[in-house]
Amino acid sequence: MKNPTATLACVLAILILATGPAAHAADAPATASFKQQMLNDTIDAVQKTHERFARGVARGAITPNRGYANTLAAMVNLHIVTGDDTYLKWAADDIVALVQAAKNEDGSQRAFINGFRNMVPFCEAYLHLKSRKALTDAQCKMMEDQIIASIATHYEATDFGPHNRGLIDGAAFLFAAKAVPGAPDVEKWKCYGNALVADSVYQWSIEDASIYLPFWQTYTLTLAEMQGRLDEYMKPIMTRYYFDYIKSLIMPNGLLPDWGDGDWTHNWDWSAANLVLAGSRYKDGEYLDAARQLYYASLSYWKNLDSGSIYTISTALRWLDASVPLKPFAPVKSCEAIDDLISKKITFRSANGDYAMLNYRDEGPYSRFGRDYLNAQLNAFQEKPHHGHADENAIDLLMAGKTVLLADGGYRHATVDTWEDGWRADFYHNKVVARTGQMMPYEGDPFDYIAKDRAYHAVQTEKIHFGNFGSLDYSRTRLVDRERGYTGDRIILFAPESSLYIVVDSILIDEPGVKVFCNTWHPDNILKQGDNHVVSWPERIPVRKEYWPNAHNKELLIQFLGNGDKVTKIKTIERRFNPSKAFVQYQNTYFFKGQRLLFVTVLRPHDPGTFNAAMLDDVKLITNERDDDRTLGLTFRLDGDPVTVGLKLDQTIGLGNLRGRPMWDFRTGQVTYGKLRTDSDFAFVRERKDGAKETGFFYGCELHYDGKTLFDMPLNKHMYQGADDFRNPVIKDKMPRWHQIVK
């Protein structure tokens, strides 16, 4: 039988177009087409899976397989969506054969749904079959005996907390209670379920992992649906937040980046289903278009739906409101994704298809109960609770021209697949890595030294600045490592029109001692190399034991500036199951309290084969008579226009009035960077060809360029607080941010 609902599905699509709101008539076909594609793909995958199962039944070769619960749930979802009783019969026949294979000689059921992710779809399938009277009383009794036997295997571990495992097991207990309301232990199931889901329902997740967060969210939604409170559950900010979170991270190629435990080709379907629900319930076509992009991009790699994704995509079909028109979702502007409390991620984008994601997410100051439990319960010392990597202040992904140029560490790193291998450790990420102590030999291999400590060490992070300033996007995020005694600010400058990134890592020593700081990058495949630069292009991106084909549309120049007495190395390591080349620059010495260290890295995507040595002079440091890493000046060109940037790395410069307020004094706080003079934390001036000056800054009173005043706050006579003897005679308030083209 080939696609038994193809005709009916086409009729449904026509009806959808005919009955949708008139205002949406022009857009509705796109949504209906998306639905039709998902329906066709799901029908094809379910049919093939069922036929394989049926052949096994005919041979008497069926063994209980808990994963088949996904197919059973997909069949009943297809029945709900299409009304075709063929799927109801398939589901009834298959669930009976599956459970019959688990029958012991005495007629009792041998538990096989002992995996926490399979009880919910099994119960969903059984509840629908029971409601449609597709099973006999004896068959229902057999199903319920299996549920009773299987759920009993879930008693021994709670694994609680606002993350996927505790929530899904809790949902399993509550779905089982719904499916077998007369079970002897049904009240116990409800107690277990309510205890385990309480940390997640209407709460923030503590899981910073791209593959686990989506189905944590899905199970909060299916649980709310089963309990009849989905409408209410869609209202709170926590629910909508995670829809927006996923949507805001979508890459120009339609995929999602991976961070923490994750691969961008895995568990995409859970995110797609969640976005479909969001678009349908909120009547917002941007969510639907994000789901559509994710669906097509993933299917172009996988070619078809597998036994797991047919469950989630069939759920998406059940949730989809095809009367909601698609609204194109194509973000081209750098932004926070979404905030600096829960997500702690920033995406850098351009209209040219550039994309980079900075992750500065720490373990967080919330859900202390769950985090303490996981640290006490799990033998996984290299992770932050839960499933998060030590990737704070790391660039987890950078792509240009649909070519991935820097990738995250992935779900696994090396050939040893245990926690002792440290595959979540900090040195697998594009970030500054710190250790205390002396390397031996002094200019040896930094990886040999830093890899000795693979445990996770808690740090605290926060955003200092983020802003869009026309020619430049700018961020500053801070990492405080109390254990190793330093504070590290990562500053990123991104020029959307030229795809240029300048990454400045400013380190302040909080506790004295011998330390190692390693500016670590993972270009993977190095094409060319020099003393302080490499040109790279990853031929393929390993995804567990698979490979993502990586187009050769761009290459990446990674260049270290201001090298001084730092040491540069290239090291081949095991990463993402494969040999991978790392490019690092490090310093290992005794540091005094209050001392500063600076790393400056240029990341420059460019067309293949176009690198030349002259590019190494495009970004220059502005030096002055006292370079103590408290400030940094940079010059470069954008479309031939000179650009000067000034960064006040030590934000205490100019805070001189300690007896009164305001504390700052813009006169002593001003720093000169070539032609630029300002008291701002960040400032730039671009000399445009028409003679105009484009200016932008964060937190300043004045900005002067080439002897001309481009910004000047007026004097404030009423701002002072304090004794008159200590009054600053010239007071100006701070402008938080500013962007202007001065003609």
Q: Pick from 608, 636, 665: which residue ends a domain?
A: 608
Give domain status of residue 614, yes or no. no
Query: Residue 586's beta-bridge partner residues?
Result: 518, 567
Whether the pLDDT of residue 22 is over 50: the answer is: no
Q: Are 68 and 53 in contact (CB under 8 A)?
A: yes
Give domain status of residue 613, yes or no. no
pLDDT band at 722 (very low <50, low <70, confident <90, very high): confident
152 to each of 115, 378, 507, how far by Cα in Å? 12, 22, 53
Q: What is the pTM of this model?
A: 0.93
Q: Are 730 and 694 in contact (CB under 8 A)?
A: no
Other Cβ atoms closer than 10 A to 167:
29
Query: Residue 399's beta-bridge partner residues?
Result: 355, 404
53 to each of 64, 75, 197, 243, how far by Cα in Å? 11, 13, 34, 35
Do 568 and 629 reside in the same domain of the chain? no
Whether the pLDDT of residue 650 is over 90: the answer is: yes
pLDDT band at 529 (very low <50, low <70, confident <90, very high): very high
Query: What are the phi and psi torsion angles at 529 (to 5°)?
Result: -150, 150
Average pLDDT over the chain, rounded to whole? 92
Host domain of residue 357:
331-608
What is the per-residue pLDDT for 720? 75
Give the pLDDT confidence of 370-389 residue by residue, as tens digits: 999 999 998 888 888 889 99
What is d(CA 696, CA 682) in angstroms, rounded to the nearest whole number?
8
Do 104 and 223 reside in the same domain of the chain? yes
235 to each of 29, 232, 241, 283, how far by Cα in Å? 28, 6, 10, 13
Cis amide prior to 662 (ω within 30 degrees): yes
Give the pLDDT confidence of 458-508 residue by residue, as tens digits: 999 999 999 999 999 999 999 999 999 999 999 999 999 999 999 999 999
What is d(CA 279, CA 353) in angstroms, rounded to the nearest whole number?
25
Give domain status of residue 589, yes or no. yes
Do 599 and 640 reside in the same domain of the chain? no
pLDDT band at 419 (very low <50, low <70, confident <90, very high): low
Domain of 395, CATH number, reads: 2.70.98.70
Q: Are 646 and 678 in contact (CB under 8 A)?
A: yes
- By CB neighbour count within 10 A (0-12 exposed, 13-18 middle, 19+ buried), where does 351 fall? exposed
Mean predicted confidence (pLDDT) in 160-180: 97
Mean predicted confidence (pLDDT) in 536-561: 94
Q: Count how many domains the chain has.
A: 3
What is the per-residue pLDDT for 400? 98
- For the ranges 257-266, 284-293, 442-451, the one whose mean pLDDT is highest: 284-293
Do 310 and 362 reside in the same domain of the chain? no
Whether the pLDDT of residue 13 is over 50: the answer is: no
Mean predicted confidence (pLDDT) in 387-394: 96
Cα first-last separation, the chain: 72
DSSP code for 575: E
Give domain status of residue 392, yes or no. yes
Domain of 98, CATH number, reads: 1.50.10.10
Cis amide prior to 338 (ω within 30 degrees): yes
Of 686, 423, 399, the closest CA to residue 575 belongs to 423
Of 261, 247, 517, 550, the closest CA to residue 401 belongs to 550
Q: Pick from 608, 640, 670: which residue ends a domain?
A: 608
- By CB neighbour count within 10 A (0-12 exposed, 13-18 middle, 19+ buried), where does 430 fall? buried
Of 458, 496, 452, 442, the closest CA to residue 474 belongs to 496
Strand (E) positions, 454-595?
460-469, 472-481, 486-495, 500-509, 513-524, 526-529, 533-536, 540-543, 546-549, 555-561, 567-575, 578-591
Q: Pick from 580, 608, 636: which residue ends a domain?
A: 608
- Give the position of tokens 């047919």: 310
Mean predicted confidence (pLDDT) in 517-525: 97
Whether the pLDDT of residue 409 is over 80: the answer is: yes
Give domain status of residue 313, yes or no. yes
Do 549 and 646 reside in the same domain of the chain? no
Mean predicted confidence (pLDDT) in 508-514: 98
Do 310 and 351 reside in the same domain of the chain? no
Tokens of 257: 């980046």
Give domain status of residue 223, yes or no. yes
Do 585 and 629 reside in the same domain of the chain? no
